[in-house]
Amino acid sequence: MNIEFDPSSIHQSKSGMITGIAYVRVNDNTCFPCEQWNDFIVVLALWWLDAANRVEAGEKKVRMQFMDGPYWIDIESKGENVFARCVDDHSPKSYPASFDYDQVSLRSEIAKFAKCVWRSCRDRKIESDDVRTLGGMLGMY
């Protein structure tokens, strides 16, 4: 699993919403939800970092939600590994990909993504409560 993120895609609207391109590339080069997916990037980083923290704390089932659209990745902890299943909740519900991953790599991949999002916001002088919260979670402040 790789979280693909395009730092040059970050944009803050006049209303303050921060969007950017991010998606998950799995196994056979499947892109979920799709290649070049645009979503509320800082919120994703916060939610996914929280999910990784909860797995690390011993929670057995967590969800990595995408904010835009009915897409998420269900994560089930199995010892030092996790089983992940991508879910597209459009009717009919489908499961475009699933994969096994180790918890340490999952945490590392999510933290790398979150740090890149935070740095991209900082470099572009994009600020918000969510960006400050993300920086705090990452120990950047």
For 9-46, the pLDDT digits (tens) are: 999 999 999 999 999 999 878 999 999 999 999 999 99
Mean pLDDT for all residues in the chain: 95
| Residue 34 CA from chain centroid, whole number | 14
Q: What pLDDT, on a 0 to 100 scale, did the predictor assign at position 69?
A: 83
Interval 108-124 mean pLDDT: 97
Is 140 a residue whose pLDDT tops 80?
no
pLDDT in tens, 82-103: 999 999 999 888 999 999 999 9
Residue among 39, 44, 37, 4 at smallest CA distance from 19: 39
Q: What pLDDT, on a 0 to 100 scale, did the predictor assign at position 127?
A: 95
Within a 13 Å sphere around the CA of 50, how many CA atoms are in the beta-carbon half?
Answer: 12
Is 7 a residue whose pLDDT tops 80?
yes
Cα–Cα distance between 41 and 118 in angstroms, integer? 10
How do the domains of the chain map onto residue ranges? 2-130
Instruction: Look at phi and psi of residue 86 and say left if phi exceeds 0, alpha if psi is from -120 to 50, else beta.
Output: beta
Decide if domain 2-130 falls under CATH 3.30.2450.
yes
Could you give the percent of the chain with pLDDT greater than 90?
A: 91
Q: What pLDDT, on a 0 to 100 scale, did the predictor assign at position 120?
A: 97
